[in-house]
Amino acid sequence: MTETEKEIIVTGNEKPRIGVFVCHCGVNIAGVIPIEDLVEYAKTLPDVVFATEYKFMCSDVGQTLIKEKIQEQNLNRVIVAACSPRMHEPTFRLVLKEAGLNQFLFEMANIREHSSWVHMKDPEGAYEIAKDHIRLAVNKARELVPLEVQTVEVDPSCLIIGGGIAGMNAALDLATEGYKVYLVEKTPTIGGHMAQLDKTFPTMDCSACILTPRMVDVARNENIELLTYSEVTDVTGYIGNFEVTILKKPHYVDQEKCTGCGVCIDHCPVSVGNEFDLGLATRKAIYIPFPQAVPGQYTIDMDSCIRCGICASPDVCEPEAIVYDDEPEEIKVKVGTIIVATGWDLYDPTELKQYGYGRYPNVITGLQMERLLSSFGPLLGKPVRPSDLKEPHSIAFLQCVGSRNFREGGNKYCSRVCCMYATKQARQYKEKHPDAEIYIFYMDIRAFGKGYEEFYESAGRNYGINYVRGRIAEVREGEDHKIIIRSEDTLLQQPIELEVDMFVLSCGLEPRADADKITSLLRIQRSGDGFFMEAHPKLRPVDTLTEGIFVAGVAQGPKDIPDAVAQAKGAASSAAALMAKGEVEVEPFFAVVSPERCIGCGMCVENCAYGAVELVEDRRFGTIASINQALCKGCGACAGNCRCSAINIKGFTAEQIFEMITGRF
Amino acid sequence: MSKVVFETEDEEEVKVDKDWKPRILAFLCNWCSYAGADLAGVSRIQYPATVRVVRVPCTGRINPFFILKALTDGWDGVVVSGCHPGDCHYISGNLVARRRFALLNELLEFFGIEPGRVNFMWASAAEGERFAVLIEKATERVKKLGPNKRFLKKW
Q: Which of A339-348, A420-429, B68-77, B144-153 is predicted least confidently?
A: B144-153
Mean predicted lDDT score pLDDT of chain A: 93
pLDDT at A81 over 50: yes
- A317, A311 contact by CB (below 8 A): yes
Smallest Cα distance from B12 to chain A, Å:
26
| Confidence (pLDDT) at A8 | 79
Instruction: Report the pLDDT averaged over residues A276-287.
Output: 93
Contact at CB, B61 and A636, closer than 8 angstroms: yes
- B75, A661 contact by CB (below 8 A): yes
Q: Which of B32, B44, B90 sits opposite A120 (nearest CB)?
A: B44
pLDDT tens string A30-41: 999 999 999 999
**CATH assignment of B20-145?**
3.40.50
Longest CA pairwise span in chain B (Å): 50
What does chain A come to in residues? Answer: 665
Contact at CB, B40 and A118, closer than 8 angstroms: yes
Contact at CB, A546 and B58, closer than 8 angstroms: no
Quick one: what percent of chain A has pLDDT higher than 90?
88
Q: How confident is the model at residue A523 (pLDDT cuts 50, 70, 90)?
A: confident
CB contacts of A657 in chain B (<8 Å) are 54, 56, 66
Contact at CB, A664 and B23, closer than 8 angstroms: yes
Smallest Cα distance from A607 to chain B, Å:
7
| Confidence (pLDDT) at A218 | 96
pLDDT tens string A616-659: 999 999 999 999 888 898 999 999 999 999 999 999 999 999 99
pLDDT tens string A97-138: 999 999 999 999 999 999 999 999 999 999 999 999 999 999
- B66, A139 contact by CB (below 8 A): no
* C-alpha span between A460 and A464 (Å, rounded): 5
At residue A360, the 3 state secondary structure works out as strand
The number of CA neighbours under 13 Å toward the Cβ of A390 is: 10
* C-alpha span between A240 and A530 (Å, rounded): 27
| Confidence (pLDDT) at B16 | 66
Q: Which of A519, A637, A664 sits opposite B73 (nearest CB)?
A: A664
pLDDT tens string A487-503: 999 999 999 999 999 99
| Confidence (pLDDT) at A1 | 46
* C-alpha span between A419 and A53 (Å, rounded): 49
A587 at B interface, C-beta within 8 A: no
| Confidence (pLDDT) at A5 | 61
Which parts of chain B sit beneath pLDDT 70?
1-16
Q: Which of A119, A527, A609 sits opposite B90 (nearest CB)?
A: A609
Q: At residue A307, what is the residue type?
A: R
CB contacts of A652 in chain B (<8 Å) are 56-57, 61
Report the number of secondary-structure helices (H) and strands (E) in chain A: 15, 34
pLDDT tens string A155-193: 999 999 999 999 999 999 999 999 999 999 999 999 999
CB contacts of B30 in chain A (<8 Å) are 86
| Confidence (pLDDT) at B14 | 57
Please name each of the domains of chain A with its CATH number: 3-141 (3.40.50), 345-510 (3.50.50.60), 591-649 (3.30.70.3270)
CB contacts of A84 in chain B (<8 Å) are 34, 38, 41
pLDDT tens string A221-238: 999 999 999 999 999 888
| Confidence (pLDDT) at A97 | 93
ipTM of the predicted assembly exceeds 0.85: yes
CB pairs under 8 A between A and B: 165
At residue B59, the 3 state secondary structure works out as helix
| Confidence (pLDDT) at B2 | 43
| Confidence (pLDDT) at B10 | 52
Smallest Cα distance from A149 to chain B, Å:
17
pLDDT at A94 over 50: yes
- Per-residue b or e along A539-571, where b marks 16 or more CB atoms closer than 10 Å to that residue's CB: eebbbbbbebbbbbbbbbbbbbbebbbbbbbbb
Contact at CB, A637 and B73, closer than 8 angstroms: no
- Give the residue extent of every domain in chain B: 20-145
> Which residues 6+ apart lie within 8 Å of A607 measured at CB?
A637, A638, A640, A641, B60, B96
Predicted model pTM: 0.87
pLDDT at A570 over 80: yes
Instruction: Report the pLDDT averaged over residues A25-50.
Output: 96
Contact at CB, A129 and B35, closer than 8 angstroms: no
| Confidence (pLDDT) at B87 | 83
A480 at B interface, C-beta within 8 A: no
Helix locations, A282-409, DSSP H: 366-373
